[in-house]
C-alpha cells in the first residue's frame, strides 16, 4: 500500500530538488556540447574523405625534404616532418624563454626608473613605455627586421665591432669555444653545484632559525659554483681553442651566429612585453605602504635588505598574476615569427601543412603544443604565486 505513495513522493521531490534539477541541466548542456562536437568532427572526416584528402598523423614520419636555417638539434632535408616540428618547438621555446628573461630585466629597470625622483629618467621611461606599448608588435618585428637587413652592411663589408665579432645583414657573429668534452662536464658540474647551493641555503636558514646566526650563503654558493666549474675546466685539460667566424665565399664560417630573423623577433618581443612588465613592476612597488620601508629602516636593516626582505616579497604578491599573463602573451606572440622568417613552430607547421595538405592535423599539433606550453607556464607561475602568497598564521 505504501509503495506507490513513496515513489510518487520520490519523483516529486526530484522535480523540486534543486540538486536534481542542477544535475539534469548539466547533463543537458554537456550532452548538447558533445553532440555538436560529434557532429562537427564526423562531418569534417566525411568531407575530407569526399575530397580524397589524407588524414591521420602518419605523415609525421615521412621525409620532410625541406631545409631549416636554425636548428638546435641536427636537421637535414632527409629528416622527417616530426623532427622538423620538434626543431620548430625548440626554436619557439628558445625565443620565448630568452624573451621572458630580457623582457623581465628591461621591464624591471624601466619600471624602477619610471618611479625615480630624477625627472629626466622618469620621463624617458614614460616615453619608452608609451612608444613601444602603443605600436602593434607585428609592425615592430617587421621594423627591426627591415632595419637589420637594410641598415647593416653586407658580409663582405661586415663591421668588426670587437675583435672577431662581426655585424652584418647576415646577423651577429661571434667566437665561441670550439667543441670539447670539457664543456659537457662543466655543465654537469654546474648543475650539481646548483643542487649543492640549494642544500647550503637550507642548512644556513635552518641554522639561522635555530641560533640566530646568519650565514652569507649567497656569496658562499656563488664561490662554490665558480670554483667547482673552474676546477672541472682545468681537470679536463683546459681547452683554449676557439671557433672564430671567418668570411669564406658567401658567408661566415665558424663561430656562433644570431640571425637577423632571431634577433628581430627577440628584440621586438622583449621591448614590447617589457613595457607591460614595467608598469606591473611600478604598480607592485607602489602597492607596498611607505611605512613598511620606514619601519624596516628603523629596525636597522640595510637598504638592500629592506628591498629584498621587505619590499619585494610584498610587491611580488601583486606582481605575479599579471606577470604570468604577460609571459603567456610573449610566448603566444612568438608565433608572429612567420612574418620575419624565423623558423618557429607555426612557421614549420605551415610548411608541413602545405607540403602534406593536412591542415587539420598540423594545426591541431601546434594548437596542442601552445596550449601545453601556456599551461606549463601557468602551472609554474601559480605554484610560485602560492609559495609567495601571504601565509596567515
Partner 1 sequence: MKSLKLIVGGTIAATAALSTFAMAGETVDSIKAKGYVQCGANTALAGFSAPTSEGKWEGLDIDLCHAVAAAILGDASKARFTPLTAAQRFTALQSKEVDLLARNTTWTLSRDTKVGLNFAGVNYYDGQGFMVAKASGITSATELDGATVCIEPGTTTELNLADYFRAQGMSFEPVVIENAVEAVQTFFSGRCDVYTTDASGLASYRQTAPNPDDFMVLPEIISKEPLGPAVRHGDEEFADIVRWTHIAMLEAEEKGITSANVDTFKKDSKDPGIQRLLGTTGDMGKALGVSDDWAYNIIKQVGNYGESFDRNVKAKLGLERGLNALWTDGGLMYPAPIR
Q: Is 93 an interacting residue with respect to partner 1 (CB under 8 A)?
A: no
Q: Is 134 an interacting residue with respect to partner 1 (CB under 8 A)?
A: no
Choose among 123, 232, 21, 328: nearest CA to 131. 123
Using CB under 8 A, pick the residue from 269, 340, 369, 377 that binds partner 1. 340
Q: Is 170 an interacting residue with respect to partner 1 (CB under 8 A)?
A: yes
Q: Which stretch binds partner 1 (CB under 8 A): 45-53, 116-124, 205-213, 298-306?
A: 45-53
Q: Is 357 an interacting residue with respect to partner 1 (CB under 8 A)?
A: yes
Binding mask 259-298 for partner 1 (x = CB under 8 A): -xx-------------------------------------
Q: Which stretch binds partner 1 (CB under 8 A): 188-196, 276-284, 294-302, 366-374?
A: 366-374
Choose among 254, 314, 281, 276: nearest CA to 113. 281
Q: Is 68 an interacting residue with respect to partner 1 (CB under 8 A)?
A: yes
Q: Is 376 an interacting residue with respect to partner 1 (CB under 8 A)?
A: no
> Of the two residues 29 and 194, which places its CB atom closer to partner 1 in the complex?
29
252 within 8 A of 246, measured Cβ to Cβ: yes
Q: Is 149 an interacting residue with respect to partner 1 (CB under 8 A)?
A: yes
Using CB under 8 A, pick the residue from 224, 301, 339, 381 that binds partner 1. 339
| C-alpha span between 281 and 106 (Å, rounded) | 11
Using CB under 8 A, pick the residue from 10, 18, 52, 195 that binds partner 1. 52
Q: Is 367 an interacting residue with respect to partner 1 (CB under 8 A)?
A: yes
Binding mask 226-265 for partner 1 (x = CB under 8 A): ----------------------xxxx-x------xx----
Q: How many residues make contact with partner 1 (CB under 8 A)?
A: 57
Q: Is 381 an interacting residue with respect to partner 1 (CB under 8 A)?
A: no
89 within 8 A of 369, measured Cβ to Cβ: yes
- Shortest Cβ 58–partner 1 spacing (Å): 11
Which residues are within 8 A (CB) of 231 and not within 5 positions of it... i.e. 6 or more apart? none
Q: Is 354 an interacting residue with respect to partner 1 (CB under 8 A)?
A: yes
Q: Is 389 an interacting residue with respect to partner 1 (CB under 8 A)?
A: no
Q: Is 72 an interacting residue with respect to partner 1 (CB under 8 A)?
A: no
- Shortest Cβ 75–partner 1 spacing (Å): 11
- Shortest Cβ 136–partner 1 spacing (Å): 16
> Of the two residues 7 and 47, which places its CB atom closer to partner 1 in the complex?
47
Amino acid at each position: 500500500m505504501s509503495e506507490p505513495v513513496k515513489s510518487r513522493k520520490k519523483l516529486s521531490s526530484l522535480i523540486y530538488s534543486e540538486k536534481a534539477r542542477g544535475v539534469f541541466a548539466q547533463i543537458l548542456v554537456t550532452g548538447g556540447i558533445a553532440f555538436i562536437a560529434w557532429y562537427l568532427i564526423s562531418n569534417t572526416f566525411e568531407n575530407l574523405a569526399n575530397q580524397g584528402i589524407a588524414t591521420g598523423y602518419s605523415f609525421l614520419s615521412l621525409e620532410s625534404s625541406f631545409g631549416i636555417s636554425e636548428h638546435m638539434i641536427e636537421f637535414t632535408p632527409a629528416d622527417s616532418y616530426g623532427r622538423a616540428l620538434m626543431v620548430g618547438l625548440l626554436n619557439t621555446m628558445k625565443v620565448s624563454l630568452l624573451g621572458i628573461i630580457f623582457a623581465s630585466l628591461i621591464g624591471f629597470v624601466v619600471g624602477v626608473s619610471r618611479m625615480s625622483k630624477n625627472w629626466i629618467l622618469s620621463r624617458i621611461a614614460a616615453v619608452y613605455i608609451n612608444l613601444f606599448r602603443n605600436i602593434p608588435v607585428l609592425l615592430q618585428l617587421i621594423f627591426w627586421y627591415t632595419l637589420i637587413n637594410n641598415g647593416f652592411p653586407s658580409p663582405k663589408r661586415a663591421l668588426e665591432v670587437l675583435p672577431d665579432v662581426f655585424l652584418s645583414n647576415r646577423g651577429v657573429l661571434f667566437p665561441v669555444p670550439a667543441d670539447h668534452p670539457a664543456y659537457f662536464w662543466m655543465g654537469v658540474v654546474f648543475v650539481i653545484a646548483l643542487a649543492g647551493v640549494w642544500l647550503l641555503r637550507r642548512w644556513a636558514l635552518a641554522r639561522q632559525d635555530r641560533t640566530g646566526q646568519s650565514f652569507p650563503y649567497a656569496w658562499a654558493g656563488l664561490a662554490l659554483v665558480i670554483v667547482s666549474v673552474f676546477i672541472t675546466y682545468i681537470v679536463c685539460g683546459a681547452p683554449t681553442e676557439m671557433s672564430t667566424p671567418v668570411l669564406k665565399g658567401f658567408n661566415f664560417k665558424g663561430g656562433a651566429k644570431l640571425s637577423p630573423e632571431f634577433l628581430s623577433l627577440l628584440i621586438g618581443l622583449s621591448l614590447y612585453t617589457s613595457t607591460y612588465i614595467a608598469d606591473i613592476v611600478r604598480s607592485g612597488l607602489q602597492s607596498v605602504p611607505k611605512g613598511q620601508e620606514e619601519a624596516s629602516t628603523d629596525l636597522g636593516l640595510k637598504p638592500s635588505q629592506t628591498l629584498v626582505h621587505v619590499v619585494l616579497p610584498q610587491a611580488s604578491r601583486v606582481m605575479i598574476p599579471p606577470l604570468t599573463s604577460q609571459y603567456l602573451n610573449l610566448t603566444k606572440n612568438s608565433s608572429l615569427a612567420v612574418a620575419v622568417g624565423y623558423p618557429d613552430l607555426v612557421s614549420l607547421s605551415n610548411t608541413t601543412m602545405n607540403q602534406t595538405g593536412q591542415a587539420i592535423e598540423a594545426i591541431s599539433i601546434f594548437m596542442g603544443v601552445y596550449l601545453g606550453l601556456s599551461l606549463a607556464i601557468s602551472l609554474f607561475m601559480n605554484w610560485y604565486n602560492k609559495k609567495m602568497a601571504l601565509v596567515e598564521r
